[in-house]
Amino acid sequence: MRRLFPACLTMALLAGCSSLQSSDNLLGVLTPYRVEVVQGNVLTKEQVEAVRPGMTREQVRDVLGSPLLASVFHADRWDYVFTIRRQGAEPQRRSVVVRFEGDALKSIEAGDLPSEREFVAAITTVKPGRVPRLELSDEERKALPVPARPEAATTPAPAGPAREYPPLEPRS
């Protein structure tokens, strides 16, 4: 019995530790840190609207960036995939397929992409607080004291003996 009790106690403690690791919070007080996972290209509605059929591959790459998937077996297809998992925000996954005919853009399948503002709002986990005013009103400007005019700045004469330097280039 004396040998069995420490072994049972150790097993119970280890089982308790494993269940704490799998929970999202420890007793409602501590939450474990979760790494933000961002993969792929963020594509917005504005970027996709800037791409037109007939553009070259280089022009499409300049607007959308390098594709996440460009297969050797499907040379006329580029896949842009974006996923993000952030603590406190909903996970997101978007996919855009760009198809070419030769070197010219044939079509783009984008689905429902957010605008840039909608995307930023979707990944922001901080609640906006009171935004400070950054500009004074006309009444507040008039209430400010008038700044004193600075005295005319004069450059003081150099102190010490005047120096003469030899010419950098020989005289002709």
**pLDDT for the residue 86:** 80
Q: Are 56 and 103 in contact (CB under 8 A)?
A: yes
Domain membership of residue 43 (yes or no) is yes
Q: How confident is the model at residue 47 (pLDDT cuts 50, 70, 90)?
A: very high
Tell me if 99 is assigned to some domain.
Answer: yes
Confidence (pLDDT) at 21? 46
Domains contained in the chain, number: 1
54-82 pLDDT per residue, tens: 999 999 999 999 998 888 888 899 999 99
**pLDDT at 75 (0 to 100):** 87
Question: Is the Cα torsion angle 102, 107, 113, 119 positive or negative in sign?
Answer: positive
Q: Residue 137: inside a domain, yes or no?
A: no
Is the pLDDT reported for residue 20 higher than 60?
Answer: no
Q: What is the pLDDT of residue 60?
A: 93
